[in-house]
Amino acid sequence: MSDIIRRDPRAEWIARNRLHPLHAAMQSQNQTSWMGPNGIIRKNPHAIAAGFIGPAGLKRIDRSGAQQGTAGKRSSASVEVQLSLHVVEQPAFHICVVPDMVGGRLSSHDKDLLGLARKLAGESGAVLAVLFGEDKENAFDTAGVDRLLRIAGDAFDGYAPEARVLALSAVESQLAPRYWLLPDSRTGGGELGRRLAAKLGERPATRVWQVAGEQAIGRAGSGQQDIQRALPRLILAAAECAEPVSETRHEARTLELGERIAHSLSRIEDLGPVAVDPAQIPMAEAEFILSGGNGVKDWKLFHQAAIALGATEGASRVAVDDGFMPRNRQVGATGTWVTARVYLAVGISGAIQHLQGIGACDKVVAINMDPGCDMIKRADLSVIGDSAAILNALIERVAAWRQEGKRDAA
């Protein structure tokens, strides 16, 4: 809650009234003047100069000796806002949402989708979220999930689209949800939704960005046209298709599937992720970029660091113009606009063109000599110092960590 400072007129009145039985208790803690043993009034000037916090929240010094301050400031008790609980005891119908759960948590795309589902469910319907495998999310209630169905099992771990589609069609046959909602994303939802559509024989609305009444509007073709159609049962919605739920709490009651899910022999076997050479990843979609600029003096060390960290290399315009890095590695307005999750900038002061290019990056780390440069203002973590020494230390630290990992594995 807010930190509004409130006066307590009664306490002030008691502090003024020496005859009041509570007068002594209302006096400020450190006494400023008292009668000494020889009948002389003693004063503590330090306590007076320390002042007290007045009713407006400002420090006040009262040398008259009649300090009117009451004990500390009074602020309204902070109350956690409890959102109203939306209970659907007997749902008239279900709206089935299959969130992506990237990294085990609801992404913003998932939350938008749950917001859309909530809108479609209205008062009498229930939003059912179907999850596969483990998750780390603990805010299903505020995201708008009425019912939660967790489908676990070895068959659904890793990349198992065929098993998941079978599980979803079991949900379809048991609950017959009014709508199916999946995110039209590259992180799994787009594929799973289309597989499900083919399995159920439903014609989905894809790349939907608006649902108004009984009509869905989605992008068509290469994005130059919109297609408007009656709302189908299966909707693959784009990001920001609706506002996420924010004003209600929901039960997120766990649901169990009545019957066992049919298993079939998977025709696609997942052999796991492949180590990819970071130098070959297109810069625009690289996850982790180590970028060098004018402050880098030892380029050999820079390349070593990129290999040790497993980072894709980038460069500022100065480094490219000076011939230390190829032109296709330039980050910024005239180079590539990057979307890395972590951008490690070494010796880059942060020209505005460069900062534009890294606008979409999540975390920016700067290593620089100059504590006042623009890159430091943008960065989430900055280390001021010599880049060569810090890179060397970083290489050592990472090498030690990899050694540890190997020892643990062995």
Partner 1 sequence: MKSGFTTSFPGLHPGYGDTMTDLNIVALVSVGAHPTSGRPRRAEQDARAVELGLRLAGQNLQLLHAGDPQAEALRGYLGMGLEQLDVLEQPEGADALPLLVDYLQGSRTQLVLTGSQAETGEGSGMLPFLLAERLGWPMVVGLAEVEKVENGVAQVLQALPRGQRRRLKVRLPCVASVDNAAPVARQSAFGPARRGQIEAHEVTVVGDSLLAEASLQPAKPRPKRLKVIKAKTGAERMKAATARASGGGGQVLKDVSPQEGAEAIFKLLIEEGVLR
Residues in the chain: 410
Q: Give yes or no for residue 382 binding partner 1 (CB under 8 A).
A: yes
Contact 306, 328 (CB under 8 A): no
Contacts of 318 (CB under 8 A, 6+ apart): 293, 294
What does the alpha-carbon distance between residue 387 and residue 151 come to, in Å, rounded to a whole number? 49
Q: Give yes or no for residue 2 binding partner 1 (CB under 8 A).
A: yes
What does the alpha-carbon distance between residue 160 and residue 187 come to, in Å, rounded to a whole number? 13
What does the alpha-carbon distance between residue 125 and residue 178 come to, in Å, rounded to a whole number? 9
Q: Between residue 144 and residue 183, which ones bind partner 1 under the rule CB under 8 A?
A: 159, 161-162
Q: Give yes or no for residue 25 binding partner 1 (CB under 8 A).
A: no
Q: Give yes or no for residue 409 binding partner 1 (CB under 8 A).
A: no
Q: Give yes or no for residue 29 binding partner 1 (CB under 8 A).
A: no
Q: Which positions from 341 to 380 touch partner 1 by CB under 8 A, shown as an x/- string?
A: xx-x-----------------xx-x-x---x----xx-xx
DSSP 68-134: ---SS-EEPPP----PEEE--SS-SSEEEE----GGGS--HHHHHHHHHHHHHHTTT-EEEEEEES-
Q: Give yes or no for residue 240 binding partner 1 (CB under 8 A).
A: yes
- Check residue 404 and report its DSSP letter: H
Closer by beta carbon to partner 1, 285 or else 322: 285
Q: Give yes or no for residue 22 binding partner 1 (CB under 8 A).
A: no
From candidates 43, 119, 150, 229, binder to partner 1 by CB under 8 A: 229
Q: Give yes or no for residue 57 binding partner 1 (CB under 8 A).
A: no
Q: Give yes or no for residue 269 binding partner 1 (CB under 8 A).
A: yes
3-state secondary structure of 318: helix
Q: Between residue 310 and residue 339, which ones bind partner 1 under the rule CB under 8 A?
A: 310-311
Q: Give yes or no for residue 75 binding partner 1 (CB under 8 A).
A: no
What does the alpha-carbon distance between residue 184 and residue 195 come to, in Å, rounded to a whole number? 12
Q: Between residue 275 and residue 294, which ones bind partner 1 under the rule CB under 8 A?
A: 275-277, 279-282, 285-288
Q: Give yes or no for residue 299 binding partner 1 (CB under 8 A).
A: no
Q: Which positions from 199 to 218 touch partner 1 by CB under 8 A, shown as an x/- string?
A: x---xx-x--x-------x-
Contact 128, 177 (CB under 8 A): yes
Segment contacting partner 1 (CB under 8 A): 118-126, 145-153, 190-198, 252-260? 190-198
